[in-house]
Structure 1
Amino acid sequence: MILITGGLGFIGTHTARALLDLGESVVLVQRRAPEVTAPLAGQADGRLVVEQADLTDRAALLGLGDRHKITGIVHLAGSVPWPPGADEPVEGVRKSVAGLLNVFHAAAEWQVSRLGLASTIGVYGGVEAPSPLAEDLPLPMTAHHPIPTFKKIGELVAGHLAGATGLDVVNLRIGAIWGPLGHPRSPFFVLPQLVHAAVRGEVPDLTSPAWGANAEDGGDLCYVKDCGRAIALLQVADRLRHRTYNVAGGRMTTNGEVAEAIGRAVPGARVELREGRDPAGPGRDLHLDITRLREDTGFEPAYDTASGIADYVSWLRAGNAR
């Protein structure tokens, strides 16, 4: 069975669904009281197990191995002291590091075949190379936000412990992910609020994110079902040739393209974007190279912008809007 931390979260749910579709069995671990969501409901063949455990409690985590034969781990649960104020700063860092190290401890004790660790597109912040950005680019030893800060730390720790323990560890640099079960607003890109506002028949509030809401702004936007499938394929691949993989759409998507797709899915939607680029933004296209992912797993995105938004709108209209 493959254990997924944060397995009932946004990306975790879709990763679990993809693994089940590939014939795998999964154990989903959640810190809060677990509640199976619609994409996983009705899985009655015994291949889906839900457990509640706090990753900072090593004994509780290791106890999962007493109840289940765990052969792999996908670590998606938050390992970042975020949002601000959730804990006293030093305590927040302690919990983040403890959870990550406990996952490594469990992986070594259970002798899992592979440990996948969620990282982020944000680690490329400050890289001056032109897009698409490949995994072997050198990263600056700085970060503008706690999420890429702690993901860089996690990647460095992963490299050390993989060498010291012999574990097969894979860093998953995940792009800007959107779709069913995601938050209706993102502090990093504007697509979610554009879609939710259109379904509600409202004019979108473009005050968040702080920049990047103009028509020619955008980034590597990947539909969550594709993201979950990519992670699942990396987890079950017989052999991977690299330690780090970009998990993304592999192309630039502008807000203008998003608005056009919304207009087709929701005729009459009032998507009013500012023209050009936001002068406070990076001033360039930014997307990731997914050649490694394609070559080692055969992955290809199943959703483009139009089909993803149509699917998301249908999901929201089915009563899932927040």
Structure 2
Amino acid sequence: MTVLVSGGAGYIGSHMVWALIDAGEQVVVVDRLSTGFEWAVAPEAKLIRADIADTQTIAEIIKAHDIEAIVHFAGSISVPESITDPLGYYQNNTVNSLGLIRTAIATGVRNFVFSSTAAVYGDPEGDQPVTETALTLPQSPYGASKLMTETMLADAAAAHDFRYAALRYFNVSGADPKGRTGQSTRGAANLIKVATEAAMGKRDRIEVFGTDYPTRDGTCVRDFIHVTDLVAAHLDALTYLRAGGESLIANCGYGRGYTVREVLDAVRRISGRDFEICLGGRRDGDIVSSVADSTRARTVLEWSPRHDDIDEIVASALAWESALLRSNQQT
């Protein structure tokens, strides 16, 4: 039995592949390599260059490799980009996911773990941390496209012998502690990625979007989760589904937020380097604060994060940037 990882050559997907290999699983990666890297895939996994939109090829892969579960990462992830290219996001994140879900059900795959996002909540109203029962009012096509896929999964699970776990990520950051993979896409917009690039001299400055938010220092608040803990939650979700667990939605975050300024201060302190910070206006689609209540993941999935430390997250990201500079693997 084998696990298919869509988008397994990308940032989070490549970490997932390494985690599955470390756990003794057989893994097939499907990635069109539009933003991912062949070198990021664990050599023990089989990489097939294909697009999940090609449902005939996906069906053939599932049958040929006796795929028992799918972990679905393939998709587009930028809030600002989704605002300028909404139809592209609905195509890649929603329509293509529909094809993958339909193909999974048609070929007898019963277990499906989906890479969702806290962007489905929009600007959370009421108390934080945010629970999974909070209203879902996405403020960007990115969040809406992911929420549509969650809806399709729920309806499919109600109609078929099919179960899923949709994990709503908060702000994923950091890199593999063993240095095997990390965030490598040039032009990535993740705050810690951008800040560590600035610290390493890859960017001449970093821009802060909005300094007048109603927070402790005027900048947005985010719950940053180490990518290694995030993929551990996926492994726990897969174990849960295999044991017959019911379909579920679960937040993945630590329940503690940091402002943009606090993150930049941490990068400066840990790197020992200064870099220019430019203060700009708010961006469309950005929200004030987003912090996870991850009680469901911790109790139902028995998830136990081990890297809940902003300094550790930043240090691992800096180590990866240093590795990229040495190897010149970033494109």
Q: Same fold (TM over 0.5)?
A: yes
CA, structure 1 residues 215+263, in 2 after alignment: closer, same or farther (shift >3 Å)? farther
Please, which of 307, 319, 322 is the counterpart of residue 324 of structure 2? 319
Please, which of 143, 146, 158 is the counterpart of residue 148 of structure 1? 143
Please, which of 112, 118, 130 is the counterpart of residue 121 of structure 1? 118
Alignment of 1:214-293 (within 5 A): 216-237=219-240, 238-240=243-245, 243-270=248-275, 272=277, 282-283=287-288, 285-293=289-297
TM-score for both structures, normalised by structure 2? 0.80
2:252 alignment partner AA: V
CA, structure 1 residues 311+67, in 2 after alignment: closer, same or farther (shift >3 Å)? same
Deviations 1:24-54 (A, max 9, x none): 111100124885334x4443xxxx1111222
Question: Identical aligned pairs, as a percentage?
Answer: 23
Partner of 2:38: 36
Please, which of 152, 158, 173 is the counterpart of residue 157 of structure 1? 152
Cα contact 1:71–1:110 (8 A) shared by 2:
no
What is the alpha-carbon distance in structure 2 between the residues aligned to residue 12 and residue 267 of structure 1?
A: 30
CA, structure 1 residues 110+255, in 2 after alignment: closer, same or farther (shift >3 Å)? same
Cα contact 1:190–1:208 (8 A) shared by 2:
no
Give the superposition deviation at 1:259: 2.9
CA, structure 1 residues 297+266, in 2 after alignment: closer, same or farther (shift >3 Å)? same
Deviations 1:117-144 (A, max 9, x none): 221110111431211101122323xx32
TM-score for both structures, normalised by structure 1? 0.82
More strand as a share of residues: 2
What is the alpha-carbon distance in structure 1 between the residues aligned to residue 61 and residue 283 of structure 2?
A: 50
2:201 is the counterpart of 1:173: no
Partner of 1:10: 11
Please, which of 57, 61, 68 is the counterpart of residue 60 of structure 1? 57
CA, structure 1 residues 295+242, in 2 after alignment: closer, same or farther (shift >3 Å)? farther
2:80 is the counterpart of 1:75: no
The CA RMSD over aligned residues, in Å, is 3.5
Equivalent residues, number: 310
Please, which of 296, 300, 316 is the counterpart of residue 296 of structure 1? 300
Cα contact 1:76–1:117 (8 A) shared by 2:
yes
Cα contact 1:79–1:100 (8 A) shared by 2:
no
CA, structure 1 residues 198+163, in 2 after alignment: closer, same or farther (shift >3 Å)? same
What is the alpha-carbon distance in structure 2 between the residues aligned to residue 231 and residue 8 of structure 1?
A: 16
CA, structure 1 residues 239+209, in 2 after alignment: closer, same or farther (shift >3 Å)? farther
